[in-house]
A and B are shown apart, each in its own frame.
Chain A
Amino acid sequence: MGYKGRQLVPSGLTYIADNIKNKGNILGLPASYRAGWAGGIKFSEDKSTLFFAGCGYQYADMLEPLVNVIKTADKMTDNPDLPMLMSSIPRKFGIDATRLLGSALSRQSKKADNILKDAINVLKAIGIEPGYLGQDEPCCGAPLYHSGFQQDYALVVRQAYERFAAAGVRRIISIVPSCTYALRDLAGKILPEKTIEVKHFIEVLADNISSIKLEYPQSVKVTYHDPCQLGRYMGLIEQPRRVLKSIKNLELVEAQWTSGEWSTCCGGGGGFEVVFPDISYSLSINRIEELIATGADIIVTQCPGCMLQLRSGLKGTKRENIEVLDLATLVARAII
């Protein structure tokens, strides 16, 4: 081999990579914003069982407008390099990170869905009171790995595990699929001695599903979109279905050909939306159409990237009376 170096990595990805290295999160925002979702939630002081919220969900509201800016820029110009120069776009369009953040935060207070809060409520319902590191939560480093910066990733994941150890963490319940894969599988290659057990939220929920009664407020047809890393990478395909089937008033309908291990990528794969915003958008439309064809009222998934993509796709199809929900939200609504 012997390739050509960093300038061949799409700049949208180097932007994210630099943010992780310099600021400890994908958007380069101050750490204090990380825990904004957790206001009013009581977490256990004991951090031996830790809830790992991840950048994707914690910054979801800020990601969306940023991706929209990139999509618009990509449409507005023929210069194929422009969308790659992600860091210069906010400046060019008069949008700076602080403003973006401000508007997102003001929306968050009125916002209807708080997926992370829903997840905590679900965990509490099955008798788990996790700790949370708040603004000290480290980045898992997954985007570094996926962009090709594997040495930087090794550094970040090592630091993350040091922080976990210092907090007395013995078991992690993680909710973003790519963070979970990074903390569980990728980290295992770097830190073969690690003893902290990492599970995805859905494994924990499925294992304890008999301890709660779930009934959806009205009768609904639901289809499930398997996120690539959760399904194909980690093999968590049966668990979400076990959970959904345990909900009364809910009928699970599967996509023809494209469910489980055959699930179609939402088009967000590993930061793809900042590399090829237009292809990414078309992929989201394709995927949402496969899911709509099931006749479902609710499309459920459990990945911040998939959520963003599927909602954007749904908007594009102009279909009404269908909603895209995170599995945590759906289950939280069904707790009786």
Chain B
Amino acid sequence: MQKEYRKELKAALANSRIKLALSRAISSYRQNTNNALKKYPHTIKMAEEVLKIKQYAIQHMYDLAQEAGKNIEENKGKYYIAMTADEALTIISKLIGRGKLVVKAKSMTAEEIGLREHLEQEGNEVYETDLGEFIIQKLGSRPMHILSPAIHVPREDVASLFSKIIGRELPTDIPTLVATARELLRDKFIRADVGISSANVVSADTGTLFLIENEGNIRLATSAPPVHIALVGMEKLVPTLEDAFKVSEVTWRYANYAIPSYVSLISGPSKTGDIEKVTTYGAHGPRELHVIFLDGGRVKLAEDPVLRQALYCLRCGGCLYECPVFSLTAGYFGDKYFAGIGTVWAAEISKNIEKASSMAYTCLTCGRCKIRCPMKIDVPEMIMKIRKSIAEE
């Protein structure tokens, strides 16, 4: 067991702010999800269908990436397949260069490869535009939940952080804090050279990226700058546009939304033919779209009959609200991804075996995450397999 990890968990446990923030979040998550599933009861059946879509897609990731790539090129975008995290960083570095202003949508895949830190080291100015992620960036912390990265920070702490940034005392009411972030980021969207996003799901037959959100920051980050770069884990690919709609609907419903405010479908760069029917790229939106599909160990992971379940994950984040340990420690029980399922990512994608071992024995294997999971991912079964590998090899 890593000493540093143990220390972090102990510190998290002693931090009553985490418990406070999480207990508020958990009860509203359960209430919202319950309401959403009651209003749209077909979601539960649809989740079974989505599992079948994912099971097929995970076995065909590489082919789907190529099919999607061809279609993106037909739509006048560019595509790349990165076998490793380093390859992905190199591709993106070449596209961006140095001294640029970059606005970023929240992306766990970017977190996985350390994209923001990398671009900053190369002399770019990078702004996280998701409110939670913006808070995390300003705190110099790391995300603690896949959808709500600042889940462990209560409003009082956000107020004191923002007060420091603007040099004026702010009240602790949430609307004021949200308005402050909007104020701080507004001109960054307009001035940015590059916008970076991920995608929740990608349909191979049309090369369409689906981006689910509520804030509107993804719309701005992917449409205001002249260049849009999307970094997408290969597990996000599905065969058809129809499949992608189903995956999206199940994802947002288990992420506790009846319907999100925005779903962006992006299949190519911005264009117009309004003057003499001559197609010209870069009308109001980006003139360039670059999509990088990241393998990073996913294709290999898909060969494991038990651990491949980790790739079925829709990243709805529901499991984290049901994890008893997570409710006390937030993402400190985690690596790039969190809790039980995050252990598989630490072991198989980040190849951080020490961390994965520590996490594997932090999981209670209580199995409540599996009850919540729309894909019925058997986390205890995966943890047992990882423990076996640890203990016996």
CB distance from B297 to the nearest CB of A (A): 11
User: Which chain A residue lies CB-closest to B7?
Assistant: A80
Q: Is B364 a contact partner of A267 (Cβ separation < 8 A)? A: yes
Cβ of A1 < 8 Å from any Cβ of B?
yes
Cβ of B367 < 8 Å from any Cβ of A?
yes
User: Which chain B residue lies CB-closest to A270?
Assistant: B365
- Taking a contact as CB atoms closer than 8 A, the residue among B9, B353, B361, B387 that contacts A4 in the complex is B353
Q: Is A1 a contact partner of B361 (Cβ separation < 8 A)? A: no
Cβ of A110 < 8 Å from any Cβ of B?
no
Known: A278-B13, A282-B328. Is A148-B3 also a contact (CB below 8 A)?
Answer: no
Cβ of A113 < 8 Å from any Cβ of B?
no
User: Which chain B residue lies CB-closest to A151?
Assistant: B392
Q: Is B10 a contact partner of A8 (Cβ separation < 8 A)? A: no
Known: A262-B368, A267-B364. Is A279-B389 also a contact (CB below 8 A)?
Answer: no
CB distance from A154 to the nearest CB of B (A): 11
Q: How long is the Cα–Cα vector from A149 to B388 in the complex, in angstroms?
A: 6
Cβ of B248 < 8 Å from any Cβ of A?
no
Chain B CB within 10 Å, residue with most, of A5, A232, A270: A270
Cβ of B357 < 8 Å from any Cβ of A?
yes
CB distance from A322 to the nearest CB of B (A): 21
Cβ of A330 < 8 Å from any Cβ of B?
no
User: Which chain B residue lies CB-closest to A9?
Assistant: B391
User: Which chain B residue lies CB-closest to A186?
Assistant: B384
* B379-393 at interface with A (beta carbon < 8 Å): 384, 386-393
CB distance from A146 to the nearest CB of B (A): 7
Q: How many residues of A contact B (CB 8 A)?
A: 41
Q: Is A147 a contact partner of B347 (Cβ separation < 8 A)? A: no
User: Which chain A residue lies CB-closest to B26?
Assistant: A257
Q: Scoring B residues 269 to 289 as 1 if CB is less than 8 Å from chain A, else 0, what string do you get?
A: 000000000000000000000
Cβ of A286 < 8 Å from any Cβ of B?
yes
* A7-22 at interface with B (beta carbon < 8 Å): 8-10, 13
Q: Is A282 a contact partner of B347 (Cβ separation < 8 A)? A: no
Cβ of B371 < 8 Å from any Cβ of A?
yes
- Taking a contact as CB atoms closer than 8 A, the residue among B356, B364, B386, B392 that contacts A269 in the complex is B364
Known: A232-B367, A286-B327. Is A278-B389 also a contact (CB below 8 A)?
Answer: no
Contacts of A267 in B (CB 8 A): 324, 364
Q: How long is the Cα–Cα vector from A148 to B347 in the complex, in angstroms?
A: 15
Cβ of A84 < 8 Å from any Cβ of B?
yes
Known: A269-B364, A269-B365. Is A80-B6 also a contact (CB below 8 A)?
Answer: yes
Q: How long is the Cα–Cα vector from A111 to B116 in the complex, in angstroms?
A: 61
Known: A1-B393, A146-B384, A282-B13. Is A275-B361 also a contact (CB below 8 A)?
Answer: yes
* A97-141 at interface with B (beta carbon < 8 Å): none
B contacts with A: majority SS: helix
Contacts of A96 in B (CB 8 A): none
Q: Is B364 a contact partner of A265 (Cβ separation < 8 A)? A: yes
Q: How long is the Cα–Cα vector from A232 to B393 in the complex, in angstroms?
A: 30
Contacts of A228 in B (CB 8 A): 364-368
Q: Is B329 a contact partner of A279 (Cβ separation < 8 A)? A: yes
Contacts of B7 in A (CB 8 A): 80
Contacts of B357 in A (CB 8 A): 3-4, 8-9
Q: Is A279 a contact partner of B1 (Cβ separation < 8 A)? A: no
Known: A3-B347, A262-B371. Is A279-B391 also a contact (CB below 8 A)?
Answer: no
User: Which chain B residue lies CB-closest to A260?
Assistant: B371
Known: A81-B3, A279-B325. Is A2-B389 also a contact (CB below 8 A)?
Answer: yes
CB distance from B213 to the nearest CB of A (A): 28
Q: Is A149 a contact partner of B393 (Cβ separation < 8 A)? A: no
User: Which chain B residue lies CB-closest to A8?
Assistant: B357
Cβ of A145 < 8 Å from any Cβ of B?
yes
Q: Scoring B residues 318 to 332 as 1 if CB is less than 8 Å from chain A, else 0, what string do you get?
A: 000010110111000
CB distance from A212 to the nearest CB of B (A): 32
Q: How long is the Cα–Cα vector from A148 to B366 in the complex, in angstroms?
A: 16
- Taking a contact as CB atoms closer than 8 A, the residue among A4, A145, A283 that contacts B324 in the complex is A283
Known: A257-B30, A262-B368, A265-B364. Is A5-B390 also a contact (CB below 8 A)?
Answer: yes
- Taking a contact as CB atoms closer than 8 A, the residue among B3, B364, B391 that contacts A272 in the complex is B364
Q: Is B390 a contact partner of A264 (Cβ separation < 8 A)? A: no
- Taking a contact as CB atoms closer than 8 A, the residue among B30, B364, B368 that contacts A270 in the complex is B364
Q: Is B387 a contact partner of A147 (Cβ separation < 8 A)? A: yes
Cβ of A6 < 8 Å from any Cβ of B?
yes
Cβ of B354 < 8 Å from any Cβ of A?
yes
Cβ of B32 < 8 Å from any Cβ of A?
no
- Taking a contact as CB atoms closer than 8 A, the residue among A2, A5, A84, A286 that contacts B328 in the complex is A286
Contacts of B387 in A (CB 8 A): 9, 146-148
Q: How long is the Cα–Cα vector from A257 to B321 in the complex, in angstroms?
A: 12
Cβ of B180 < 8 Å from any Cβ of A?
no
Cβ of B362 < 8 Å from any Cβ of A?
yes
Q: Scoring B residues 5 to 16 as 1 if CB is less than 8 Å from chain A, else 0, what string do you get?
A: 011011001000
- Subset of 8 A-B contacts with CB under 8 Å: A4-B390, A8-B391, A9-B361, A81-B1, A148-B387, A269-B366, A272-B364, A279-B13
Closest 9 CB pairs of A and B: A148-B391, A269-B364, A148-B387, A265-B366, A8-B357, A80-B6, A228-B366, A232-B367, A1-B389
Besides A3-B386, A233-B367, A283-B364, 6 more A-B contacts (Cβ < 8 Å) are A9-B361, A80-B3, A81-B1, A146-B384, A148-B390, A283-B324
